[in-house]
Structure 1
């Protein structure tokens, strides 16, 4: 538990210091925000800070800060330190500058921000990229909560041939359509506070139980190979760089977040609300990721014999399999099912059920705003007015037809979801490189070049991570790790040089729409 507590101190103290530094660099002021200057009762709606903060937290906290850490903790206790460090200097910085620049630039969405501070070629690449990713996010976050609800709440099989599976999908689908089209304060703004309370309960509840009952955790300064699982061997054989950082996206850094902070940029009342809404909420997500990583490690240490989880290597699949004790036998479960085991072990049947509801809510509250962001992105790109329900529906319906098609394919193809998730995970990290580059250029153009390292440090690091991963992956170029690492370094260097060159060119800073 010592390593976990050190990580928690890093997250809290480091987050407070870095958050203040972000404010010092950006210098939020009292100018009129887009929520007032463009108030339309639909997307530009002034909302209180606490509500914006909860909305942003639930937007960004999908299944990423839970499923990612559940798998990433196999790398050992280093995860309990890497998550908060990466969060403080990477993910929270990314979210802050993305949200604040979009606010100051009149509520611009991320493609517009990228266009203003890079060039048209990069803009079109990013625009296509973000639309594809948001489409995948919407699909994944119908599939995941739908299956959890079917199998762990109602006890159905979750089979694609069962009517119950598609009824549950259909209910989530219908909600997404409503949340995508109707005013943000009428739907999202009213129900998210309830969801937020359940989310906080599940994370804080599991954390409290771990501390009170002193759940067994492996320490960073001890032997990582234990009778329950050899974390040390896993660390050295599974390529911590880049696999861990692709596996644990949300909680450390996620490109999807910038699309969500851009949405909230249209509803904050004052720029001075930005640190709480953008930076601090990412720090809260880091806490959630740490809790689920630690909770999973504790269950592995308990082993299935004591109501926890045992890790068994599946030679056919070439990966470790999560196993639980059921009717006296070891039964394989998915990472998604680990969530239920953690909830019930820590919080009991009633508390576990409430927490499980929170886990189901997490992806739903990201999927709805992902599709809303997709509608707004397409509308902004092609200058399509969204001033009435008919126009919003006309744009939303084709999007939902595509989502339905991908969902059906992923459900019926035995490897469909696995392929879908892998592309989603890598794309999610790659997407972050664009707003980080734009933020660095923004700072240089505005005479704050000495602070450009803040977004460029994580931007360059993750360029190496994303490049080396796709160069090695079978879904990518299939190169050996040594070649992939060299290629990753070269691509990262090119990224850094191009951003600096663009920033030093300067030029006229695009005037904010509101002043």
Structure 2
């Protein structure tokens, strides 16, 4: 457990140090009016307090990723915790900060508009399609995951829970953001924090440690021999870096009161999500006696089965059920905002006002019809495509942030280095994975490096603004 608390300490320290560096490089203007102050419409542009916006942002971005991803990442060993810490500090939290603050500067614009502003019209059109595909996959994944967990707690069938969750999504997508999301999510956030703290205390009391004493940090313990590169960096998405967050940050960019709160809301929420990821990765490393047993538990009941088993064992039947409900809330509170973001992206593209309910319905009805159809497909295939699309979106957003810094003569390497790395990850994954080209890992890695280097060369040829 000492290693766990050391990793948590690094994340907290980073918020007060590296987070301030990122904020200083961006250069905030505390006196600049935010979109919530200038464009209030009572639906999506609604001013809310910083604590409320922070908790909503946390719930928006923390879906199944910081739980399911770290559980599956634990199969690789303690190296998964290293990626959560350093990925979160230098990539994920930076990504979230810029996706949020650049949206604030662009009047709360959705991610395709932000990307298009700094990477060009072609990038905007590409991102419009890509972001919608990602959000649709996220919405579907975040219906099926909680439906399975709820089915395990009740006697109701999974398909009935899918219907109930979709019905809630439709309602939450259409009403004003302060009616459901702004009113109930702070309470859900408190439940999430209770669940995280309770499981940590339960693990400490249980006396369980890592699989065995002296695990090497850089050894691959995956029972199937799956390679760390690039799979670990796609498997652990939301716990370290996630492009889905770039689609969510604009929701809160339309609600924050001033720019100085951006570090707490965007960078800080990602740091807290990283801590949640560390908790579940540690549980995966500690609760089972070997990677093989963890792998068998995942194979038998999926990560949702592991969540249920660990929660009940560490917290008892009542506490365990509360913890599982906390896990259920995560994907549901991200799934509804995924569809909400999709509605706003489509509205921005067609320049449709969303103040009138009929115009919201014009977008929401076909969007949910498509989502319901996709939910009938194989969950495992949907999850694989979601993982790649998620990290690809993160790479694109990082390049957009780098272009902003580069063109405005600011220190761009804080986003360019993680952009180069994530580009190599997604290019290698696409070349190697079965859902991609299925090439050998060495060939795939070479392709990933070449693609990433080519993107860097093209990026450095972008003309800078005159000082």
Distance 1:310 1:472 in 2: 24
Structure 2: state its 5+ residue gaps: none
Larger helix percent: 2
Task: Please show how residues 414-429 of structure 1 align to structure 2 within 5 Å.
Answer: 416-429=378-391
1:61 alignment counterpart: 62
Task: Please show how residues 27-426 of structure 1 align to structure 2 within 5 Å.
Answer: 27-29=27-29, 30-150=31-151, 152-156=152-156, 164-217=157-210, 222-224=214-216, 232-234=220-222, 237-301=225-289, 311=293, 320-322=295-297, 332-408=300-376, 410=377, 416-426=378-388
1:455 alignment counterpart: 415
Distance 2:219 2:50 in 1: 42
Q: Aligned in 2, Cα 1:235/1:6: closer, same or farther, shift over 3 Å? A: farther
Please tell me whether the aligned partners of residues 148 and 304 of structure 2 are also in contact (alpha carbons under 8 angstroms): no
Distance 1:207 1:46 in 2: 34
Please tell me whether the aligned partners of residues 463 and 488 of structure 1 are also in contact (alpha carbons under 8 angstroms): yes
Distance 1:232 1:379 in 2: 46
Indicate the SS of the match to 1:474: coil
Distance 1:80 1:345 in 2: 23
Distance 2:248 2:215 in 1: 41
Indicate the SS of the match to 2:439: coil
Residue 224 of structure 1: how far off its partner (Å): 4.6
Residue 335 of structure 1: how far off its partner (Å): 1.6
Candidates 405, 408, 419, aligned match of 1:446: 408
- Once the two structures are superposed, residues 286-306 of structure 1 have per-residue CA deviations (whole angstroms, 9 ceiling, x without a partner) of 0000000101111112x7xxx
Indicate the SS of the match to 1:42: coil
- Once the two structures are superposed, residues 10-47 of structure 1 have per-residue CA deviations (whole angstroms, 9 ceiling, x without a partner) of 11112321111111111222111100100000000000
1:160 alignment counterpart: none
Q: Aligned in 2, Cα 1:233/1:338: closer, same or farther, shift over 3 Å? A: closer
Residue 182 of structure 1: how far off its partner (Å): 0.8
Distance 2:159 2:466 in 1: 53
Residue 231 of structure 1: how far off its partner (Å): 6.8
Please tell me whether the aligned partners of residues 209 and 346 of structure 1 are also in contact (alpha carbons under 8 angstroms): yes
- Once the two structures are superposed, residues 116-144 of structure 1 have per-residue CA deviations (whole angstroms, 9 ceiling, x without a partner) of 10111121111110011101111111111
Residue 223 of structure 1: how far off its partner (Å): 3.8
Please tell me whether the aligned partners of residues 63 and 330 of structure 2 are also in contact (alpha carbons under 8 angstroms): yes
1:25 alignment counterpart: 25
Please tell me whether the aligned partners of residues 408 and 464 of structure 2 are also in contact (alpha carbons under 8 angstroms): no
Residue 310 of structure 1: how far off its partner (Å): 6.0
Q: Aligned in 2, Cα 1:39/1:233: closer, same or farther, shift over 3 Å? A: closer
TM-score (norm 2): 0.96
Indicate the SS of the match to 2:300: strand
Structure 1: state its 5+ residue gaps: 157-163, 304-308, 313-319, 324-330, 411-415, 509-515
1:480 alignment counterpart: 440
Residue 169 of structure 1: how far off its partner (Å): 1.4
Give RMSD over aligned pairs: 2.0
Please tell me whether the aligned partners of residues 76 and 235 of structure 1 are also in contact (alpha carbons under 8 angstroms): no
Distance 1:275 1:3 in 2: 27
Distance 1:469 1:401 in 2: 31
Residue 232 of structure 1: how far off its partner (Å): 4.2
Please tell me whether the aligned partners of residues 343 and 352 of structure 1 are also in contact (alpha carbons under 8 angstroms): yes
TM-score (norm 1): 0.87
Indicate the SS of the match to 1:460: helix
Distance 1:424 1:182 in 2: 27
Residue 206 of structure 1: how far off its partner (Å): 1.0
